[in-house]
């Protein structure tokens, strides 16, 4: 059942509504939207905060890890008192304090392929905040098969990347360029990551998610956005849809 924007909500989100081209109808789209967030680490914490504050009506958080001391440097939804607790529970607790009007579901386990397919089909958009190539490729495949938009992000050391997959526009998918490189097995444990970097990439993912959900502005596609934190600069690489791509090639 579609929810209608209340007077109180119109006031709460008035700074959205004041934006040129972003009206009450678009805010109503947000409160009726369902977003699946895969990974509640550094990127996921930033994504969750801004989607919750922006009034996205339903968030599903998926992560099978527990909070560790080393997470606290960048995973800003997890507090010292939550060390040892599941990340999804830790994030849920703080998110409900940010916005008690939204619905939050948590999945504290690693998903099978079938479970992922079911969850993706139940949501309007997926945000990939995972930290390995195999997971990203699997999420990309399921999203393209179900015609569900995907916002993918990554951050390591002082480098970040952002990529949108829009199946309805027959865009290039993550596999169109990921096949050029193998699994590098880089992680924050071995390589490190600068704390604010995950915030920059995660909030950028949240912004793209809102634009896609509400058809506000022009979300980018067929492009890979690369962020250099040392230079504090963005670079855009065009990604040509791969005609022989096993994921999306058959759609063109």
Length of the chain, in residues:
252
Is residue 166 helix, strand or coil? coil
Per-residue confidence band for 53, with pLDDT thresholds at 50, 70 and 90: very high
What does the pLDDT average to over 60-88? 97
- What is the pTM for the complete model shown? 0.95
Cα 149 from Cα 144, distance rounded (Å) = 8
Which strand (E) or helix (H) includes residue 29?
helix 24-31
From 12, 48, 38, select the one nearest 27 (Cα to Cα).
12
What confidence tens digit (pLDDT) does each residue in 109-121 have?
Answer: 999 999 999 999 9
Cα 128 from Cα 117, distance rounded (Å) = 14
Cα 154 from Cα 152, distance rounded (Å) = 7
Is residue 239 helix, strand or coil? coil
What confidence tens digit (pLDDT) does each residue in 6-35 have?
Answer: 999 999 999 999 999 999 999 999 999 999
Can you read off the two tokens belonging to residue 184? 């590098």
Per-residue confidence band for 249, with pLDDT thresholds at 50, 70 and 90: confident
What does the pLDDT average to over 94-119? 97
Can you read off the two tokens belonging to residue 172? 């290039």
Q: Find all residues with CB under 8 Å of 181, minimum gap 6, and list them.
A: none
For 92-96, 140-144, 215-219, 239-243, which range has the lowest pLDDT when averaged over its residues?
239-243
What confidence tens digit (pLDDT) does each residue in 148-198 have?
Answer: 999 999 999 999 999 999 999 999 999 998 877 655 555 566 678 999 999
Average pLDDT, the chain: 94
Task: Specify the pLDDT at position 36.
Answer: 98
């Amino acid at each position: 059942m579609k929810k209608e924007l209340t007077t109180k909500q119109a006031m709460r989100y008035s700074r959205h509504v004041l934006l040129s081209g972003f009206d009450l109808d678009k805010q109503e789209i947000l409160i009726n939207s369902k977003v699946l967030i895969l990974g509640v680490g550094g990127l996921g914490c930033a994504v969750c905060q801004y989607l919750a504050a922006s009034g996205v009506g339903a968030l599903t958080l998926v992560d099978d890890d527990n909070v560790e001391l080393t997470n606290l440097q960048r995973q800003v939804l997890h507090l010292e008192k939550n060390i040892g607790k599941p990340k999804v529970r830790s994030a849920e607790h703080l998110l409900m304090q940010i916005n008690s009007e939204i619905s939050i579901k948590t999945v504290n386990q690693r998903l099978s392929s079938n479970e992922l397919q079911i969850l993706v089909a139940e949501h309007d958009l997926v945000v990939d905040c995972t930290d390995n190539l195999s997971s990203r490729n699997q999420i990309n495949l399921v999203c393209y098969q179900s015609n569900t938009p995907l916002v993918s992000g990554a951050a390591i050391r002082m480098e970040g990347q952002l990529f949108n997959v829009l199946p309805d526009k027959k865009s290039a998918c993550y596999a169109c360029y990921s096949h050029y490189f193998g699994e590098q097995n880089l992680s924050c444990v071995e390589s490190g990551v600068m704390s604010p970097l995950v915030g920059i990439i995660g909030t950028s993912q949240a912004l793209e998610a809102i634009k896609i959900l509400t058809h506000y502005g022009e979300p980018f596609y067929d492009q890979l956005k690369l962020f250099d934190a040392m230079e504090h600069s963005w670079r855009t690489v065009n990604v040509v849809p791969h005609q022989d791509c096993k994921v999306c090639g058959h759609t063109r």
